[in-house]
């Protein structure tokens, strides 16, 4: 859409693009763009949040007054303030202070204990007939942990799914692990948005910590396709500040 905006502007039709991946917007440099910190497919934020959506719309339409393009602005969304008034709480306690660098065996044991603690909430989701989002890879969460740790130690390993290249197979596994956590989180009372669940998963769980470690390992892979894929496939752009600081 950012590229299309250039053609529309040449025909004198003013445009504003909503960007979900800042790197793409900054490279294409559309005449006017508003970068938003939301999930792919939700450029106006979470559903059932009309005030937030109106604020995004007002900011975006306000850019039409600008004629000094390319204009690139970022929508300021205070996720911490939004969470402060929320009655939702995570299904498990925050992760202990342990990293993969402290030892693979110790990290794996702690992560599998975290998965076990999450299982009652996950089981409630399944028992309630919630939409099943995981098991694309055909592996259990514990098996996915073992697979990811193996790949982090050997980015050149063969694909664990013969019909898919390694990066796609591992993306399936990573999504399965993440979705198991998200399904468990959705059984908790209260209202929560996808961004807030992302903040919890990537900021307070060992599973999120593992995805950061896996991304870092694959960025050093010899295969350029794997490196390019890893740069954006495992950690959302609005969570990359942790990768940069860690």
Report DSSP letters for 147-194, one per residue: HHHHHHH-TTPPPSSTTS-HHHHHHHHHHHHHHHHHHHHTTSSS---H
**Mean pLDDT throughout 152-179?**
91
Mean pLDDT, all residues of the chain = 87
* Lowest mean pLDDT across 86-100, 116-130, 190-204, 230-244: 230-244
- Please determine, for residue 243, whether its predicted confidence score (pLDDT) is greater than 70: no
Q: What is the band of 85 on the pLDDT scale with cuts at 50, 70, 90?
A: low
- Please determine, for residue 84, whether its predicted confidence score (pLDDT) is greater than 70: no
For a pLDDT cut of 90, what percent of the chain falls above it?
A: 50
Q: With CA atoms as reference, report the closest residue to 78 among 51, 57, 103, 98.
A: 51
pLDDT of residue 42: 80
Q: What is the band of 180 on the pLDDT scale with cuts at 50, 70, 90?
A: very high
Higher pLDDT, 109 or 233: 109
Helix (H, G, I), strand (E, B) or coil at 231: helix
Q: What is the band of 86 on the pLDDT scale with cuts at 50, 70, 90?
A: low
d(CA 226, CA 234) in angstroms, rounded, equals: 12
Count of beta carbons in the 10 Å neighbourhood of residue 117 = 13
Reported as half-sphere exposure (CB side, CA atoms, 13 A), residue 5 has a value of: 20
Q: What is the pLDDT of residues 96-131, one digit of tens each?
A: 999 999 999 999 999 999 999 999 999 999 898 876
172, 137 Cβ separation under 8 angstroms: yes
Cis bond before residue 26 (omega within 30° of 0) = no
pLDDT of residue 6: 85
148, 210 Cβ separation under 8 angstroms: yes
Q: What share of the chain is helix, strand, coil (3-state, %, to 5)?
A: 55, 5, 40
- Please determine, for residue 48, whether its predicted confidence score (pLDDT) is greater than 80: no
Segment (H or E) for 33: strand 32-35
d(CA 217, CA 156) in angstroms, rounded, equals: 10
Q: What is the band of 192 on the pLDDT scale with cuts at 50, 70, 90?
A: confident
141, 114 Cβ separation under 8 angstroms: no
**Mean pLDDT throughout 181-196?**
88
**Mean pLDDT throughout 35-44?**
82
């Amino acid at each position: 859409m950012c590229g299309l905006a250039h053609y529309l502007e040449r025909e004198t039709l003013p445009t504003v693009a909503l960007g979900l991946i800042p790197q793409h917007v900054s490279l294409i440099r559309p005449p006017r763009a508003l970068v938003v910190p939301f999930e792919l497919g939700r450029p106006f934020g979470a559903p059932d949040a009309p005030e937030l959506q109106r604020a995004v719309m007002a900011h975006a339409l306000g850019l039409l007054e600008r004629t000094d393009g390319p204009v690139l602005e970022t929508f300021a969304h205070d996720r911490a303030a939004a969470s402060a008034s929320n009655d939702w709480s995570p299904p498990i306690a925050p992760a202990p202070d342990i990293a993969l660098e402290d030892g693979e065996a110790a990290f794996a044991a702690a992560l599998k204990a975290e998965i076990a603690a999450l299982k009652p909430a996950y089981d409630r989701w399944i028992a309630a007939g919630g939409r099943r989002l995981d098991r694309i890879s055909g592996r259990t969460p514990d098996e996915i942990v073992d697979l990811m740790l193996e790949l982090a130690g050997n980015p050149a390993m063969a694909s664990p799914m013969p019909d898919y290249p390694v990066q796609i197979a591992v993306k399936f596994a990573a999504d399965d692990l993440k979705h198991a956590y998200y399904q468990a989180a959705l059984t908790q009372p209260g209202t929560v948005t996808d961004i807030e669940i992302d903040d919890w998963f990537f900021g307070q769980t060992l599973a999120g910590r593992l995805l950061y470690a896996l991304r870092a390992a694959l960025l050093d892979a010899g295969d350029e396709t794997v490196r390019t894929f890893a740069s954006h496939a495992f950690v959302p752009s609005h969570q990359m500040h942790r990768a940069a600081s860690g």
